[in-house]
Structure 1
Amino acid sequence: MTGWDREWLEGVSRVTAAFERLPGSVRQDLESQARGMVAHKQAMQQLVGQVDAASHCAGCGGACCAKGKYHFSSVDLLVYLAAGQPLFAPRFDNGLCPFLGEPECLMPPGYRPFNCITFNCDLIEDQLPRDEVARFYRMEQELATRYAEIRALFPARNMDGALL
C-alpha cells in the first residue's frame, strides 16, 4: 500500500465517521443537498454536451485530466455517502489523475469534483454560444454556493479542501 492509498483510506474514514455522526435531520438536509448538487453537475455536463465535449476530450486524450490531481474533496465524498453511491477505488499507480480510469473518469459526471466539472478548455468553450458560456459560469457560481452550504453543515473548516 502506497502513502497515497493510506492517506485516501484515512480521509475516507474521517469523513465517513463525521457523516455517520450526523443527526437525522441534518443527514436528511445533506441528502437533499447532495441530490441537488448531482443534478446541478449533470446539467452543467449536458450544457457542454451540446458541443460534444466528450469527443473533444477523447481527441486530446483528456490532457486536463492527465494534469489534474487530488481535486476530490470531503464534500464530494459526503455527496457519495449521502446518495448511497458506491465509492470507486483511485488508481494512484497510473502517474496521472488517480481518478482517471480506462478510458474515462472513474466518477459519473454528477459526482465529479468542482474543478473537473467546471473546467472547459478553449476548444469546448469557443464552440458554445456566448449566452451558454455565460449560463455555464452562472452555474459555476451556483455550484460553489452549493459546496459552501454543505460545508456549513459541519464545524468550521472541518470539510474544507481536498480529501488527500
Structure 2
Amino acid sequence: DSIVFIHDALLFDFSFSCISAGLPKTEANWQYVISDLKRIENLIQSIHMDATLYTESDAHPSCKVTAMKCFLLELHVISQESRDMDITDTVENLLILANSSLSSIEERHILVFPISSFLFTWQHKTELGCKECEELEEKNIHEFLKSFVHIVQMFINPS
C-alpha cells in the first residue's frame, strides 16, 4: 500500500516537473504582469486617477523591448501620482517581474549575437528604428494600460 502511494506520488511529482519545465519562466512572469496591470486598472478606477502617459500603441515586434522599457518608465508616474500604497506595491511587483523577464531575454541575446552586436543593441536606449519614449503619443491611463497589455502579449506570443 505504502509502496503504491510512494510510486504514485513520485509519478505525479515527475509529471508536474515535466509540465513545469515546458513552460518558460519568462512566459509565466508575463502572465503575472498582465494580472498586475488589471489590478492597477481596477485600483485606479477606485481613486479616479486621470493622467496622460507616453504610450506605444502600434509597436513593431522588433521594437517591443524598447516599447516595454517606455511602459515601465511610465509606471513610475502612475505610482507617484496615485499616492496609493496598493498601486505602489502592485507597480513594484510588476517592475520586478518585467525586469526579470527582460533580463532573461537579454541574456539569451548574448548567446545568439556576437558580443559587439549585443553591446551596441543594449547600450542604447532604443532599438534601431524605434521611437524614443518622449516621441510617443500621450494617452489617458486606460489607453496606456490597454496598450501595455498588448505589448506584454507580444512577449508571450512572439510572431
State TM-score, norm by structure 2.
Answer: 0.31
More contact order relative to length (CA 8 Å, sep ≥ 6): 2
1 or 2, which has the higher strand percentage?
A: 2
State TM-score, norm by structure 1.
Answer: 0.30
Structure having the higher Rg? 2
